[in-house]
Homo-oligomer: A and B are copies of this chain.
């Protein structure tokens, strides 16, 4: 049985996935420890217990590897947006948005190391930018998704009709992104939860 082609394929697929996972884990740890510049493929390979060549068999380059860390290892915004969408028209809108803002803060704080590392390295940024454009992805999409949800809440009468949902979404996500970055530089005076509630209150006030 174990020699049947299907079984072999499955086994090698799982083997590939295990190696890929090990490389992503190693990359995440290297970034945390040494910053993105210090996260060399040599260090990542040593940590993952594989050769540098094997890294390039799984990933076209550092850009793709770092994107995999972002998408597959960090607390994602996707599930938080999905939860918010599911709750449209239900529960307390301010409370739902505050919970979402706290998730966004957490995501941006953990993603900051990679995002800033990419931005600070002109050649890595070039590669990342082309990759995002080709895949039709990008860090602006969560703003658009949030704007869609706010638009629906507005249609349902739970948000002021005069509010611009795109602008409100840009402000809510922007405030979270900024705060997550600030927290690396200075001790912030206010706790996250009352801060998030106040920020959401600016949108849900009317």
A35 CB–B CB distance under 8 Å: yes
In the assembled complex, which residues on chain B have CB atoms less than 8 Å from the CB atom of A179? 170, 174
In the assembled complex, which residues on chain B have CB atoms less than 8 Å from the CB atom of A201? 164, 167
A175 CB–B CB distance under 8 Å: yes
A139 CB–B CB distance under 8 Å: yes
A162 to B36: give the CA distance in the assembly, Å.
43
A94 CB–B CB distance under 8 Å: no
Residue of B with least CB distance to A162: B205
A118 to B199: give the CA distance in the assembly, Å.
27
State how many angstroms separate the Cβ of A4 from the closest Cβ of chain B.
46
* Beta-carbon contact of B174 and A140 below 8 Å: no
Q: How many copies does the complex hold?
A: 2
State how many angstroms separate the Cβ of A181 from the closest Cβ of chain B.
7
A54 CB–B CB distance under 8 Å: no
* Beta-carbon contact of A120 and B37 below 8 Å: yes
* Beta-carbon contact of A186 and B34 below 8 Å: no
Known pairs A170-B178, A175-B175; A186 contacts B138 (CB<8 A):
yes
Residue of B with least CB distance to A124: B35
Selected interface stretch from A20-28, A81-89, A109-117: A109-117
Known pairs A133-B186, A177-B177; A167 contacts B116 (CB<8 A):
no
A37 to B184: give the CA distance in the assembly, Å.
18
Name 7 A/B residue pairs within 8 A (Cβ), A-sorted: A35-B121, A37-B37, A38-B122, A140-B188, A174-B174, A174-B179, A178-B178
